[in-house]
């Protein structure tokens, strides 16, 4: 039958279902096919905190949101244009985000009286008129999948598991996504279980054919590729980009990379990825706890490797004493903190920016360390390389902040040319007479990096204060004062780029951001400028030390708005450092800011 094809400039789709329904895989495959087509995109996976919540309940709902367009975009979208809900729980959990007039595709096979009761529906929303403001398509995804696989030697339960592939095929038809890459992926993933492979391929093709032949959908949609600079691209998540950046940094420094880590959401993917990269001289150690992980990383740095440990907020708390040891030893160390909602276990699968004060000050004694923060999934690569630069050049632990939104989200990444990467070559101390392990480089104040076992470079290590130059144990008050001030001066003197301000119109209001607020702030800036508002933007990626021109930038703007996914931690730092009044805009919902709420908050300031 002939169907209408409608061109669109962008769309936001959310797949939602039980944590066992394969929504993350479905969203990931749709994203990969979208990236192949050349659209710009941004994603927002949303995982349940429960390892295995009861089937069909609200705590077990897992979702994956994808925003893609024929132009450059900044966020995964404020709200879905299309919701694919695999059961009543998925529908109910996501209805608050659905604007009226949006499209809802539901698996009506799962809307039984028992499943409706589980989530508190007294009547079937597909029949009671409560969804009349939406474009609702009730499709028997389960039974059609089982029917399509009837020729295979599978139980009904096994056949039902392929319904996510049916849904993926149907949406791939609806939005003209290429199919070969997903078929190739499925073939590789299930090659050792032929029946499961065939089931997924058949279900995927059946979903595509259903979209092509059914009268349920009379329209399909095209979103043209987005213009991009020439180069080779791939879809990249934040955790993956960060892992690649650490490898690249270690390669640029000509150092082996050692990761000591303990699995923790949402940082575990860094350990998973680095464990696959032995060919680049990467050694990974899954420790028995967070303290052992950071201790092993410090030991690796002492031995001449690039020591790294990855964790989230609760792990940072456990590592704090050992990080203080690395400060005392003045050894390179990178601590990756992928922030999540807290305190305690808090919201382990959600996002927040609430570890900032912890990484700045959460150690005993005067123990300052550099702090960097990535702004987007692909920026994680560049900031990881920067963390290696600072750690090795200044012989210091470095905190690199990400968060759940950046870590799990993805966007197109232009693969850099190897020749464009910096030279981070490290000079180790060489055999010498009267070696002074705490002598200083006059420019960086870094002490020598002496590899154990090198003749003539024997020296003490440990957490007790070191005597200047010799490194012997010292309890002298004047020496302690000198060493504390020297370590602080080393961090304060780290060279970082100036803060860049985007202000084409001479604005009086500056929106200042850090970390993952970059995308929502940038999107809000675009909306505000289109409406005629004059607003400037600046984004801080170097937090300790701050860029040298930050005070000058702040002084130029009568009003500075600072959105944070905490209760004002960066605002506290800036107020104390620069005595600048900051207009804080805070939320701690476990979700990123929406463009709309940032626009509204800025307009309130602009309108007095």
pLDDT tens readout for residues 256-303: 999 999 999 999 999 999 999 999 999 999 999 999 999 999 999 999
Do residues 61 and 16 both lie within one domain?
A: yes
- Distance between CA 604 and CA 188 in Å, rounded? 53
- Is position 483 within any domain? no
Residue 428's pLDDT band, with cuts at 50, 70 and 90, is: very high
Helix (H, G, I), strand (E, B) or coil at 585: strand
Residue 52's pLDDT band, with cuts at 50, 70 and 90, is: confident
Average pLDDT over residues 195-202: 97
- Distance between CA 7 and CA 237 in Å, rounded? 28
Q: What percent of the chain has pLDDT over 90?
A: 98
- Is position 365 within any domain? yes
pLDDT tens readout for residues 300-352: 999 999 999 999 999 999 999 999 999 999 999 999 999 999 999 999 999 99
CATH number of domain containing 274: 3.40.50.970
Do residues 67 and 214 both lie within one domain?
A: yes
Average pLDDT over residues 14-43: 96
Do residues 18 and 41 both lie within one domain?
A: yes
pLDDT value of residue 50: 85
- Is position 482 within any domain? no
Do residues 288 and 328 both lie within one domain?
A: yes
- Is position 494 within any domain? no
Length of the chain: 608
What mean pLDDT, rounded, does the chain reach? 97
Do residues 154 and 36 both lie within one domain?
A: yes
Between helices 163-174 and 141-148, what is the axis angle to 10°? Answer: 100
Q: Are strands 61-69 and 40-46 parallel, antiparallel or unpaired?
A: antiparallel
Q: What percent of the chain has pLDDT over 70?
A: 100
- Is position 361 within any domain? yes
416 pLDDT above the threshold of 70: yes
Q: Count the domains in the chain.
A: 3
Average pLDDT over residues 351-376: 98
- Is position 507 within any domain? yes
Do residues 101 and 175 both lie within one domain?
A: yes
Residue 51's pLDDT band, with cuts at 50, 70 and 90, is: confident
Cα three-residue angle 533-580-390, rounded to 5 degrees: 95
Q: Which of 419, 421, 378, 376 is nearest to 517 (CA)?
A: 376
Do residues 206 and 253 both lie within one domain?
A: no
pLDDT tens readout for residues 448-469: 999 999 999 999 899 999 999 9
- Is position 466 within any domain? no
Do residues 337 and 211 both lie within one domain?
A: no
Cα three-residue angle 245-247-250, rounded to 5 degrees: 105
CATH number of domain containing 27: 3.40.920.10
Do residues 281 and 383 both lie within one domain?
A: yes
Do residues 219 and 276 both lie within one domain?
A: no
pLDDT value of residue 113: 96
608 pLDDT above the threshold of 90: no
Residue 358's pLDDT band, with cuts at 50, 70 and 90, is: very high
Of 223, 255, 286, the position where a domain reaches its end is 223
Residue 1's pLDDT band, with cuts at 50, 70 and 90, is: low
- Is position 425 within any domain? no
pTM of the model: 0.95
pLDDT tens readout for residues 525-551: 999 999 999 999 999 999 999 999 999
Of 420, 443, 467, the position where a domain reaches its end is 420
* Both tokens assigned to 571: 């605002």
- Distance between CA 477 and CA 565 in Å, rounded? 41
Nearby residues of 296 by Cβ (< 8 Å), 6 or more positions away: 258, 260, 285, 287, 307
2 pLDDT above the threshold of 90: no
pLDDT value of residue 404: 97
Average pLDDT over residues 430-454: 96
- Distance between CA 370 and CA 362 in Å, rounded? 13
Of 400, 420, 440, the position where a domain reaches its end is 420
pLDDT tens readout for residues 481-536: 999 999 999 999 999 999 999 999 999 999 999 999 999 999 999 999 999 999 99
Helix (H, G, I), strand (E, B) or coil at 458: coil
Residue 560: domain span: 501-606
* Both tokens assigned to 162: 């392929």
Do residues 208 and 245 both lie within one domain?
A: no
Do residues 44 and 192 both lie within one domain?
A: yes
Residue given tokens 């590789």 in the structure block: 188
């Amino acid at each position: 039958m002939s169907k209408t094809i409608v061109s669109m400039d962008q769309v936001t789709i959310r797949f939602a279902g039980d944590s066992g329904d394969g929504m993350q895989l479905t969203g990931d495959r749709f994203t990969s096919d979208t990236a192949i087509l050349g659209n710009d995109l941004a994603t927002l996976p949303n995982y349940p905190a429960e390892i295995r919540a009861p089937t069909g309940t609200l705590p077990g709902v897992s979702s994956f949101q994808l925003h893609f367009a024929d132009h450059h975009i900044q966020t995964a979208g404020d709200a879905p244009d299309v919701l694919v809900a695999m059961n009543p729980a998925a529908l109910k959990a996501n209805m608050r985000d659905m604007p009226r007039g949006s499209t809802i595709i539901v698996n009506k096979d799962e809307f039984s009286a028992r499943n409706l009761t589980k989530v508190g529906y007294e009547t079937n929303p597909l029949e009671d008129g409560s969804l009349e403001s939406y474009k609702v398509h009730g499709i028997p995804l389960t039974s059609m999948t089982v029917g399509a696989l009837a020729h295979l030697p599978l139980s009904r339960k096994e056949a039902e598991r392929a319904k996510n592939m049916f849904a993926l095929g149907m949406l791939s038809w609806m939005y003209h996504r290429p199919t070969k890459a997903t078929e190739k992926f499925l073939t590789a993933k299930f090659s050792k279980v032929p029946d499961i492979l065939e089931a997924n391929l058949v279900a995927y093709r059946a979903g595509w054919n259903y979209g092509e032949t059914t009268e349920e959908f009379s329209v399909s949609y095209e979103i043209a590729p987005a213009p991009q600079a020439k180069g080779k691209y791939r879809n990249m998540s934040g955790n993956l980009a960060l892992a690649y950046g650490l490898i690249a940094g270690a390669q640029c420094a000509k150092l082996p990379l050692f990761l000591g880590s303990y699995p923790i959401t949402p940082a575990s993917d860094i350990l998973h990825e680095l464990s696959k990269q032995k060919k680049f001289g990467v050694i990974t150690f899954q420790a028995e706890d967070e303290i052992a992980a950071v201790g092993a990383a410090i030991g690796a740095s002492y031995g001449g490797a690039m020591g790294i440990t990855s964790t989230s907020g609760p792990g940072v708390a456990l590592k704090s004493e050992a990080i203080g040891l690395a400060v005392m030893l003045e050894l390179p160390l990178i601590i990756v903190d992928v922030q999540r909602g807290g305190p305690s276990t808090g919201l382990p699968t959600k996002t927040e920016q609430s570890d900032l004060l912890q990484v700045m000050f959460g150690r005993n004694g005067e123990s300052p360390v550099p702090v960097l923060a990535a702004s987007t999934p692909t920026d994680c690569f560049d900031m990881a390389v920067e963390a290696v630069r600072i750690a090795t050049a200044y012989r210091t632990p470095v905190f690199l902040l990400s968060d759940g939104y950046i870590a799990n989200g993805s966007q197109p990444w232009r693969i850099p040319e190897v020749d464009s990467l910096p030279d981070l070559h490290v000079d180790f101390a060489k055999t010498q007479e009267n070696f002074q392990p705490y002598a200083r480089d006059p420019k960086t104040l870094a002490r020598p990096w002496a590899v154990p076992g090198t003749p003539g470079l024997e020296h003490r290590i440990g957490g007790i204060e070191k005597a200047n130059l010799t490194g012997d144990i010292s309890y002298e008050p004047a020496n302690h004062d000198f060493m504390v001030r020297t370590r602080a001066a080393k961090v304060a003197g780290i060279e970082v780029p100036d803060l860049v301000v985007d202000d084409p119109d001479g604005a009086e209001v500056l929106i200042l951001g850090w970390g993952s607020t970059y995308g929502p702030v940038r999107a809000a800036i675009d909306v505000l400028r289109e409406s005629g508002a004059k607003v400037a933007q600046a984004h801080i990626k170097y937090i300790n030390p701050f860029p040298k021109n930050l005070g000058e930038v702040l002084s130029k703007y009568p009003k500075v708005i600072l959105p944070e996914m905490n209760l004002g931690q960066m605002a506290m730092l800036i107020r104390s450092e620069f005595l600048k009044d900051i207009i804080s805009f805070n939320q701690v919902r476990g979700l990123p800011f929406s463009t709309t709420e940032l626009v509204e908050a800025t307009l309130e300031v602009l309108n007095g």
